Chains A and B, each alone.
Chain A
Amino acid sequence: AQSVTQLGSHVSVSEGALVLLRCNYSSSVPPYLFWYVQYPNQGLQLLLKYTTGATLVKGINGFEAEFKKSETSFHLTKPSAHMSDAAEYFCAASDTGRRALTFGSGTRLQVQP
């Protein structure tokens, strides 16, 4: 069964610093990969997704993620953190042909002024 691992349940960065949130998946067959963000008292919002093609995926709010098959990783980055980026971030995967998502346990990003 597919599993998704997010390293670090809490990450704290300074405003303007690089954001790096780590995600690894377990499948031997590259799945579809997603990053979602949840702001307080809101639902999950899609940041970006990888299906096929270009391995560097750009999303909303300046975020991007790179699919690395050799490392089974899909880490999320943003060059410069803003206070408004403080939220919980979820990496998710779905096996091709199955639409149900398998989520990681989430990483709460804190941005310090």
Chain B
Amino acid sequence: EAGVTQFPSHSVIEKGQTVTLRCDPISGHDNLYWYRRVMGKEIKFLLHFVKESKQDESGMPNNRFLAERTGGTYSTLKVQPAELEDSGVYFCASSQEADNSPLHFGNGTRLTVT
């Protein structure tokens, strides 16, 4: 079984540019999550999809961030325009339906905004 895959693994962009991160969850996992870890700090929840619907987007920092999951399969997270404080590691995770089923994490995308 393929795990959660994220692309790209690294991205370096300039302030003001746009970046799109992609996450492919484990096949059959309806729940998809985005998390972010800013340098040296805790991993913070961004949002949660159930299939193609946003279940909880309370962690999205501002309207420069747009997440989509068209068709309920892969998801994208777009940052436009990027700011310096957006630098960090963006993790995607997926899980099955059960309430306390474990999250399976991808390796993350390291975003550096210069």
Contacts and interface: CB of A to CB of B under 8 A. Distances in A.
A49 B99 CA distance: 13
Contacts of A96: 99
B105 interface: yes
Query: Which size class do B's interface residues fall under?
Result: 20 to 34
A49 B91 contact: no
Interface residues of A, number: 26
A43 B3 CA distance: 10
A45 B91 CA distance: 12
- Pick from A4, A92, A101 the residue with the most CB of B within 10 Å: A101
Interface string B27-57: 0000101010000111111001000000110
B16 interface: no
Contacts of B35: 101, 103
B107 interface: yes
Nearest to A90: B43
B102 A49 contact: yes
Contacts of B59: 100
Contacts of A99: 31, 33, 48, 55-56, 95, 99
B35 to A, nearest CB: 8
12 contacts: A34-B102, A43-B91, A43-B106, A46-B103, A90-B43, A97-B99, A99-B31, A100-B33, A101-B43, A101-B103, A102-B45, A103-B42
Given A49-B102, A101-B103, A44 B45 contact: no
Max chain B Cβ within 10 angstroms of own Cβ: one of A42, A46, A96, A100: A100
A103 B43 contact: yes
Given A100-B48, A101-B103, A43 B42 contact: no
Nearest to B108: A43
Contacts of B58: 100
A98 B105 contact: no
A90 B3 CA distance: 20
